[in-house]
């Protein structure tokens, strides 16, 4: 199914390119030969927000003089049919809720722009950078640097702990859940820090993770004496550190609350004797 979705996403991007190219009227000066724009990666500038400068920009939205040309996975080489100088704008795209076939333009990152003089038949390599928009607000849910994880055990037998050795990702430490048979097969932890999320505004939770067993991420809404908790997404095992961008606007719209809290649940699959989930840099990013 993943291959089918990836193919569909490729066809979508290709269709946008073809539509853009068909809408151009190449002049005899380039004989319909495009200039090729190559983009290896999109970098988040250090210090954009105090907690972390890590990012997972996997796609780019491409505009020529404010007209859309393509939406493509990175790295990418995009054909540009143009004869006159212009402005190429690049918008950073991310995987929504960890779904690797569902890209969105991240609303909190700035686009980058380049003045381009077409050079038909040749490749122009660009190295775009981004930073958070000045209007962005944030709340640190847990950075795992203070000696405690910032989570408490909701169910299971193993609490999240802090690791400060080579297992950590950034800063002074990372959070770790470790499950071992026969006693540990499931661990559900809730964050001790509650936070507010404005209604009808863009809001995401960002998390860095590395795991040998699956885990899920949930959100709990509390309104006066009433509460509702729902798991929003999850992650398959990853041997390298990755990043989640989890949209929570719809959850807040359906389940408004005075406060919210984050839940992490790890499960030891059948036939697996032990496993770990490493977490770092959990923050809420939003517009107020």
Q: Name the pTM for this structure.
A: 0.87
Same domain, yes or no: 99 and 144: no
**For 159-195, how does the pLDDT look when each residue is reduced to its tens digit (9 = 90+)?**
899 999 999 998 899 999 999 999 899 999 999 999 9
Which of 77, 110, 130 marks a domain boundary?
A: 130
- Count of structural domains, the chain: 2
Averaged pLDDT of the chain: 89
Q: Is the pLDDT of residue 132 over 90?
A: yes
What pLDDT is stored for residue 30 in this prediction?
A: 65
Is the model more confident about 147 or about 191?
A: 191
Distance CA 191, CA 168 (A): 19
Q: Are 162 and 176 in contact (CB under 8 A)?
A: yes
Same domain, yes or no: 122 and 148: no
List, in sequence order, every residue forming a beta bridge with 36; answer none if it has no partner.
79, 123
Going from the C-alpha of 12 to that of each of 35, 65, 102, 287, the distances in angstroms are 21, 21, 12, 30
Same domain, yes or no: 14 and 80: yes
CA 30 vs. chain centroid, Å, equals 39
Same domain, yes or no: 54 and 147: no
Same domain, yes or no: 23 and 121: yes
Percent of the residues in the chain that have a pLDDT greater than 90, as a whole number:
79
What pLDDT is stored for residue 167 in this prediction?
A: 94
Which of 115, 130, 145 marks a domain boundary?
A: 130
Lowest-confidence pick of 82-86, 96-100, 274-278: 96-100
| Mean pLDDT, residues 19-41 | 68
Same domain, yes or no: 98 and 209: no
99: CATH = 2.60.40
Distance CA 247, CA 19 (A): 30
Phi, psi dihedrals of residue 112, rounded to the nearest 5°: -115, 150
Same domain, yes or no: 37 and 172: no
Range of the structural domain that residue 20 is part of: 2-130
Q: Is the pLDDT of residue 7 over 70?
A: no
Distance CA 144, CA 175 (A): 6
Same domain, yes or no: 100 and 202: no
Which of 88, 108, 130 marks a domain boundary?
A: 130
Same domain, yes or no: 125 and 140: no
Same domain, yes or no: 83 and 169: no
Same domain, yes or no: 182 and 84: no
192: CATH = 2.60.120.260
Q: Is the pLDDT of residue 3 over 60?
A: no
Say how many C-beta atoms besides its own lie within 10 A of residue 59's C-beta: 23
| Mean pLDDT, residues 71-90 | 96
Same domain, yes or no: 157 and 260: yes
Q: Is the pLDDT of residue 268 over 50?
A: yes
């Amino acid at each position: 199914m993943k291959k089918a979705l990836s193919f569909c996403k490729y066809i979508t991007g290709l269709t946008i390119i073809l539509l853009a190219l068909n809408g151009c009227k190449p002049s005899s000066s380039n004989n319909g030969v495009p200039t090729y724009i190559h983009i290896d990666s999109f970098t988040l500038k250090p210090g954009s927000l105090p907690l972390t400068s890590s990012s997972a920009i996997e796609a780019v939205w491409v505009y020529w003089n404010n007209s859309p040309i393509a939406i493509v996975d990175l790295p990418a080489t995009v054909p540009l049919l143009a004869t006159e100088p212009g402005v190429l704008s690049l918008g950073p795209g991310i995987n929504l809720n960890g779904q690797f076939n569902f890209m969105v333009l991240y609303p909190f990152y700035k686009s980058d722009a380049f003045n381009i003089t077409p050079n038909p038949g040749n490749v122009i390599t660009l190295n775009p950078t981004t930073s958070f928009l000045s209007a962005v607000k944030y709340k640190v849910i847990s950075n795992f640097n203070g000696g405690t994880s910032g989570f408490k055990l909701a169910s299971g037998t193993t609490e999240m702990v802090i690791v400060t050795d080579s297992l950590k990702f950034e800063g002074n430490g990372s959070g770790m859940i470790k499950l071992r048979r026969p006693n540990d097969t499931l661990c559900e932890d809730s964050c001790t820090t509650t936070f507010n999320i404005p209604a009808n505004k863009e809001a995401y939770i960002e998390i860095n993770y590395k795991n040998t067993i699956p885990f899920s991420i949930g959100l709990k809404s509390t309104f006066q004496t009433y509460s509702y908790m729902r798991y929003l997404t999850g992650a398959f095992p990853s041997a390298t550190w990755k990043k989640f961008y989890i949209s929570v606007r719809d959850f807040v719209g359906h389940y408004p609350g005075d406060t919210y809290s984050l839940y992490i649940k790890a499960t030891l699959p059948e036939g697996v004797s032990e496993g770990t989930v490493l977490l770092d840099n959990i923050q809420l990013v939003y517009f107020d």
